[in-house]
Amino acid sequence: DAKTTQPPSMDCAEGRAANLPCNHSTISGNEYVYWYRQIHSQGPQYIIHGLKNNETNEMASLIITEDRKSSTLILPHATLRDTAVYYCIVRVGHSGGSNYKLTFGKGTLLTVNP
């Protein structure tokens, strides 16, 4: 799986959009970009994933650059409860139950301020 680079920390004002970048310049053509977050002391939570098109769900949007070497996770209206460590991961395969392992780095600590 390709390696990712994320800033160690970011701040965001409550109600504003939080834009979390991720660099994955060695991504292969069959690798997906996944985002997870981990709120203090809890298990990681899946947020969103994509291959090359931008994706949106009820939690966030994922913007992947045309060359797929970087992506941005967007939380459109951050709340205090979005304070967490956000992990960007690239890997082959995309469905639950597949046989692929994940490798997590240190992620980005997003702090949403009132």
Residues lying near other proteins in the complex (CB under 8 A): 34, 41-46, 87, 91, 93, 95-107
In the block, tokens 């490798």 appear at 103
Q: Tell me the closest approach of the beta carbon of residue 99 to other proteins, in angstroms.
A: 4
Q: How far apart are CA 46 and CA 34, in angstroms?
A: 8
Give the nearer residue to other proteins in terms of CB position, either 46 or 77: 46
Give the nearer residue to other proteins in terms of CB position, either 42 or 53: 42
Q: Tell me the closest approach of the beta carbon of residue 71 to other proteins, in angstroms.
A: 18
Q: Tell me the closest approach of the beta carbon of residue 16 to other proteins, in angstroms.
A: 26
Q: Tell me the closest approach of the beta carbon of residue 91 to other proteins, in angstroms.
A: 8
Q: How far apart are CA 114 and CA 112, in angstroms?
A: 7
Give the nearer residue to other proteins in terms of CB position, either 41 or 53: 41
Q: How far apart are CA 4 and CA 69, in angstroms?
A: 10
With beta carbons less than 8 A apart as the criterion, state whether 20 and 9 touch: no
Give the nearer residue to other proteins in terms of CB position, either 53 or 99: 99
Reference 4, options 74, 62, 68, 75; nearest CA is: 68
